[in-house]
């Protein structure tokens, strides 16, 4: 059992959790993730580790409530526990010195980008951050990213905050500028990472993306997370989750990630029904 030690609501749908997981806390590196299962009947879902506190034996997760499990997690309170937390999983991000680096986060993907950017900064890179989302309430970690970034640019699709447009609009400006961006780390929704990779390809700038494929075990056992990279089959859970964005077959992965879309809806509706009952005072 893993107790939720602290919980902070960052936006209407995005929450930060500090969860007891002492073994994971000791070993986790930027780019690692955990698989969590909330309860006996729960599914296993991968979540990127945002940070850890070895002394307290905790890890930090930042999660957007979109599916059944992430919404059920959001309903949990401090002191409640999670049945299973396994990790750290995945190959850690290769942290190299590039010089000037653009770190591009889309929505809650910014949370996954945060520990990587932090490590890149420690390795001597100058960090230029771009955070984008549909609207202002989905922009997270602006302040935290600002602590080590040379500059932080915000874009929103509806123009409710920062520059109106997409992260690629801002990234293009950075690539065109004399800053000398020599590497890009982009984490966010698949269409965003695809657009970033297409853009940086034109400029010949190395780009790393983090792929959120469908996983069951997260240890290389099911092969459900297989992606095509440079024409070869790779498992996102063990070979990744990060890959060279210029070689990823994004279209295939976008299609594969839709496999359970109708069943996810069924699960979500049940979760909503449960939430309504709780709010209405029906369930105890």
**Contacts with another protein, residue ranges (CB under 8 A):** 23-24, 27, 37, 41-44, 68-69, 83-89, 216-217, 219-224, 226-228, 233, 238, 252, 255-256, 258-260, 263-264, 266-267, 270
CA 207 to chain centre: 16
Residues 6 or more apart in contact with residue 233 via CB below 8 angstroms: 226, 227
The residue among 61 and 141 lying less far from another protein, judged by its C-beta, is: 61
The residue among 33 and 185 lying less far from another protein, judged by its C-beta, is: 33
We find the least distance from the C-beta atom of residue 199 to another protein, in angstroms, to be 25
We find the least distance from the C-beta atom of residue 271 to another protein, in angstroms, to be 9
We find the least distance from the C-beta atom of residue 37 to another protein, in angstroms, to be 6
We find the least distance from the C-beta atom of residue 174 to another protein, in angstroms, to be 33
The residue among 160 and 268 lying less far from another protein, judged by its C-beta, is: 268
The residue among 9 and 263 lying less far from another protein, judged by its C-beta, is: 263
The residue among 194 and 226 lying less far from another protein, judged by its C-beta, is: 226
Whole-number Å distance between alpha carbons of 6 and 257: 31
Angle, helices 167-176/190-203, rounded to nearest 10 degrees: 20
The residue among 160 and 257 lying less far from another protein, judged by its C-beta, is: 257
We find the least distance from the C-beta atom of residue 224 to another protein, in angstroms, to be 5
We find the least distance from the C-beta atom of residue 168 to another protein, in angstroms, to be 25
């Amino acid at each position: 059992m893993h107790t939720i030690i602290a919980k902070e609501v960052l936006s209407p749908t995005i929450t930060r959790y500090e969860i007891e997981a002492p073994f994971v806390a000791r070993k986790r590196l930027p780019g690692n993730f955990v698989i969590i299962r909330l309860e006996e009947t729960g599914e296993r879902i991968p979540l990127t580790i945002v940070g850890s506190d070895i002394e307290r034996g905790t890890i930090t997760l930042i999660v957007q409530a979109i599916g059944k499990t992430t919404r059920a997690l959001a309903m949990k309170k401090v002191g409640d526990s999670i049945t299973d937390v396994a990790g750290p999983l995945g190959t850690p991000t290769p942290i190299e010195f590039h010089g000037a680096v653009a770190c591009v986060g889309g929505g809650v993907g910014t949370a996954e980008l945060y520990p990587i950017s932090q490590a890149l900064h420690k390795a001597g890179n100058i960090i230029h951050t771009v955070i984008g989302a549909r609207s202002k309430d989905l922009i997270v970690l602006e302040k935290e990213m600002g602590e080590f970034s040379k500059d932080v640019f915000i874009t929103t699709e509806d123009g409710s905050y920062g520059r109106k447009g997409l992260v690629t609009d801002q990234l293009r400006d950075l690539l065109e500028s004399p800053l000398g961006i020599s590497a890009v780390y982009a984490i966010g929704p698949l269409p965003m990472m695809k657009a970033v990779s297409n853009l940086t390809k034109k400029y010949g700038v190395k780009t790393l993306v983090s792929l959120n494929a469908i996983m069951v075990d997260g240890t290389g056992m099911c092969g459900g997370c297989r992606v095509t990279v440079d024409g070869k089959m790779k498992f996102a859970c063990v070979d990744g989750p990060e890959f060279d964005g210029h070689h990823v077959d994004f279209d295939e992965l976008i299609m594969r990630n839709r496999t359970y879309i109708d069943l996810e809806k069924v699960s979500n509706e049940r979760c909503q029904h449960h939430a309504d009952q709780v709010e209405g005072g029906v369930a105890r």
